[in-house]
């Protein structure tokens, strides 16, 4: 069975990069009928917060990415880690190191001065004397001093590291006894039965250390897939300072989960020329072997396009539901269909859609003089007056087509082009020179409101 996981540290909100690796992990598990687990890496008591953990969970909920099983919190697993550390100690695969912070710093300084790589010199590796008085100790793991560590990566291929270049006996337990990252990751991934690790390639150089832990503990290695970073426009790793990287900010901006997920799945992954993927298709088609090797630059142009695509093709019922987030109660509104049909092609986001609705429903406060002058040329006033008479004498006005017929009649009778009524009418109804189809607008606001707006515009025009 394929088991994947997403393992964020709760130091802040869920951001775009994290979400993408989570999505990849989720898709791969689902595709294989496997499990997708969530693990909260909260071993750093100083930097973690429960609020951050909750925010991450809320984001998953919004996006509809469901994890399997119970969420694992590393902070509650101290006993487990302690047992494995003891095991390594007992087996002689790890040891206590009594080096002080100052000694370590001094060592590093001399190494740097000699242009050597800063690394622990192993001075306590085979120590079995009497520990220095009153000195705290950390626990270090015995790493191979020579040879190669090969990371067999599904994305990058085999990556070879020389032990002497990158390894030393790194700390697996701090002086307060708490275990460190590279240790707990290996232990947890193994205990959780994770078969495929999908994570950012900023972890690639950590992987040899984790492999050391796996091997010391006799655990089988999972398959690694290191996904390239998402860069900002400066070409640097996307960070929380880059603005708008909080996943939930996209909800506030009016993007839908399907648009965001579709956008992210195509960042660093592709399936031929296909751009639009439903969740089912993503699950069907995703495979880590198709992940790109190179980093991509984060740019939301395509997100906007996807977002408008999804809005255009969404049912009015669903749109009405999403609009509730912006305080609009349309679900059982009698003009819902006309309204949304008229506007769904025009909005990039749900928020924009909400604004567009507002622009129709709320009558223009006042009329801009320049706009009015531009629209009210020639016989505009007469045409509008004739149109008002038409409306007044019509009783069954409900659909856009009802109003459309009226407009046609007027231009025919007055012997003018359609533009002669369109421009002034649009300004009268909406207060501006562009906007949705007028017949729809009138059907939405109704006969009385239509007449009111036209006469208001007419009197505003006469006082210019």
Partner RNA sequence: GGCCCCGUCGUCUAGCGGUAAGGAUCCAUGGUUUUCAUCCAUGUUACAGGAGUUCGAUUCUCCUCGGGGUCACCA
278 belongs to the binding site for RNA (CB under 7 A): no
User: Which tokens is 78 given?
Assistant: 């101290």
Residues 202 and 229 sit within 8 Å (Cβ to Cβ): yes
At residue 121, the 3 state secondary structure works out as coil
Choose one: 24-32, 287-295, 378-386, 449-457; the region binding RNA (CB under 7 A).
Answer: 287-295
369-388: which residues touch RNA (CB under 7 A)? none
Distance from C-alpha of 182 to C-alpha of 162, rounded to nearest angstrom: 18
Instruction: Tell me how far, at minimum, the Cβ of 280 lies from RNA, in Å.
Output: 20
Please state the closest distance from residue 68 (CB atom) to RNA, in A.
Answer: 21
Of residues 324 and 446, the one with the C-beta less far from RNA: 446
- What the block records as the tokens of 389 is 């008479």
Output 54 or 202, the one with its CB closest to RNA.
202
> Which tokens hold the place of 271?
């399936």
Q: What is the DSSP letter of 70?
A: P
101 versus 327: smaller Cβ distance to RNA: 101
Pick from 170, 219, 249, 355 the residue near RNA by CB under 7 A.
Answer: 170
Stretch that binds RNA, among 59-67, 212-220, 270-278, 279-287 (CB under 7 A): 270-278
Its sign, for the CA torsion 60, 61, 63, 68, is positive
213's enclosing H/E stretch is helix 207-217
- Quote the least distance from Cβ 278 to RNA, whole Å: 16
| Element holding 84 (H helix, E strand) | helix 78-90
Question: Is residue 436 classed exposed, middle or buried when 0-12, 13-18 and 19+ CB atoms within 10 A define those classes?
Answer: buried
- Are the C-beta atoms of residues 147 and 163 closer than 8 Å to each other? yes
Of the listed pieces 60-68, 212-220, 359-367, 434-442, which binds RNA according to CB under 7 A?
Answer: 434-442
Q: How far apart are CA 360 and CA 435, in angstroms?
A: 9
Query: 294-313: which residues touch RNA (CB under 7 A)?
Result: 294-297, 299, 301-302, 304-305, 308-309, 312
Indicate if the alpha-carbon torsion angle 295, 298, 300, 306 is positive or negative.
positive
Q: Tell how far CA 128 is from the center of its chain.
A: 52
**Closer residue to RNA, CB minimum distance, 237 or 335:** 237
Contact pick of 152, 162, 377, 398 for RNA (by CB under 7 A): 162
Q: Nearest approach, Cβ of 107 to RNA (angstroms)?
A: 10
Query: Which helix (H) or strand (E) segment is 83 a member of?
Result: helix 78-90
Q: Residues 326 to 365: which contact RNA by CB under 7 A?
A: 345-346
Min dist. Cβ of residue 404 to RNA (A): 8
- x-or-dash pattern for RNA, window 391-430, by CB under 7 A? ---------------------------xx-xxx-xx----
Beta bridge partners of residue 140, listed in sequence order: 95, 171
Residues in 67-126 at the binding interface with RNA, rule: CB under 7 A: 74, 99-101, 104, 115, 117-118, 120
- Beta carbon of residue 434, minimum distance to RNA (angstroms, whole number): 3
Residues 6+ apart with CB under 8 A from 213: 141, 172, 182, 183, 186, 187, 219
Instruction: Determine which residue in the list 55, 68, 191, 270 makes contact with RNA, applying CB under 7 A.
Output: 270
Q: Is 196 exposed, middle or buried (0-12, 13-18, 19+ CB in 10 A)?
A: buried
Q: Is residue 159 a contact residue for RNA (CB under 7 A)?
A: yes
Q: In whole angstroms, what is the distance from residue 222 CA to residue 4 CA?
A: 10
Which residues, numbered 206-265, are part of the site for RNA (CB under 7 A)?
Answer: 206, 228-229, 231, 234-237
Tell me how far, at minimum, the Cβ of 395 lies from RNA, in Å: 23
Binding mask 42-61 for RNA (x = CB under 7 A): xxx--x--------------
Q: How far is the CB of 34 from RNA (least distance, A)?
A: 24
Site for RNA in 25-44 (CB under 7 A): 41-44
Neighbours of 32 (CB within 10 A): 16
* Member of 186, 372, 391, 438 binding RNA (CB under 7 A): 438
Closest CA to 222 of 199, 184, 186, 194: 194
Look up 101 and say whether it is catalytic. Answer: no
List 126, 273, 396, 415, residue binding RNA (CB under 7 A): 273
Site string for RNA, 174-203 (x = CB under 7 A): xxx-x-xxx------------------xxx
> At a CB cut-off of 8 Å and minimum separation 6, what does 208 contact?
149, 151, 161, 163, 166, 167
Total of chain residues touching RNA, rule CB under 7 A? 86
Q: Pick the closer one to RNA by CB: 30 or 426.
A: 426
* Least distance between RNA and beta carbon 161 (Å): 5
159 touches 153 (CB < 8 A): yes
Sign of the four-CA dihedral 10, 15, 18, 19: positive
Of 236, 240, 321, 412, the active-site residue reads 240
Nearer to RNA, 229 or 339 (CB): 229
Which residues carry out catalysis?
A: 240
């Amino acid at each position: 069975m394929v088991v994947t996981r997403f393992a964020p540290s709760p130091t802040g909100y869920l951001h775009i990069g994290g979400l993408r690796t989570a999505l990849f992990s989720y898709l791969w598990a689902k595709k294989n009928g496997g499990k997708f687990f969530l693990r909260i890496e909260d071993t750093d008591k100083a930097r973690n917060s429960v609020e951050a953990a909750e925010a991450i969970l809320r984001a998953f909920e919004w996006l509809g990415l469901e994890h399997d099983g119970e969420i694992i919190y590393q902070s509650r697993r101290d006993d487990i880690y302690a047992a494995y550390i003891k095991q390594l100690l007992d087996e002689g695969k790890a040891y206590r190191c009594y080096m002080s912070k100052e000694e370590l710093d001094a060592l590093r300084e001399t190494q740097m001065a000699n242009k050597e790589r800063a690394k622990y010199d192993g001075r306590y590796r085979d120590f079995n004397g009497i520990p220095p008085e009153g000195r705290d100790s950390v626990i270090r793991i015995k790493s191979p001093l020579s040879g190669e560590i090969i990371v067999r990566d599904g994305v990058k291929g085999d990556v070879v590291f020389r032990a002497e270049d990158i390894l030393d006996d790194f700390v697996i337990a701090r002086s307060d006894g708490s275990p460190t990252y590279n240790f707990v990751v290996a232990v947890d991934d193994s205990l959780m039965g994770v078969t495929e690790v999908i994570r950012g390639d900023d972890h690639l150089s950590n992987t040899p250390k984790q492999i050391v832990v796996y091997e010391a503990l006799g655990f089988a290695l999972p398959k690694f897939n290191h996904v390239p970073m998402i860069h900002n426009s400066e070409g640097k790793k996307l960070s929380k300072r880059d603005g708008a990287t909080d996943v939930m900010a996209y909800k506030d901006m009016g993007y839908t989960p399907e648009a965001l997920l579709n956008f992210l799945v195509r960042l660093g992954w592709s399936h031929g020329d296909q751009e639009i993927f439903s969740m089912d298709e993503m699950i069907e088609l995703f495979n880590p072997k198709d992940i790109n090797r190179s980093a991509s630059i984060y740019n939301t142009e395509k997100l906007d396009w996807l977002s408008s695509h999804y809005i255009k093709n969404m049912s009015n019922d669903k749109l009405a539901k999403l609009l509730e987030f912006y305080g609009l109660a349309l679900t059982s509104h009698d003009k819902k269909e006309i309204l949304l049909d008229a506007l769904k092609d025009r909005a990039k986001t749900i928020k924009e859609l909400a604004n567009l609705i507002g622009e129709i429903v709320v009558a223009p406060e006042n009329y801009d003089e320049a706009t009015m002058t531009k629209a009210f040329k020639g016989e505009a006033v007469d045409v509008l007056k004739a149109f008002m008479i038409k409306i007044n004498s019509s009783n069954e006005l409900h659909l856009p087509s009802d109003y459309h017929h009226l407009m046609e009649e007027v231009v025919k009778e007055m012997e003018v082009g359609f533009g002669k009524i369109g421009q002034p009418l649009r300004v009268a109804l909406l207060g501006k020179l562009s906007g949705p189809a007028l017949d729809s607008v009138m059907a939405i606001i109704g006969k009385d409101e239509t007449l009111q707006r036209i006469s208001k515009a007419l009197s505003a025009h006469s006082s210019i």
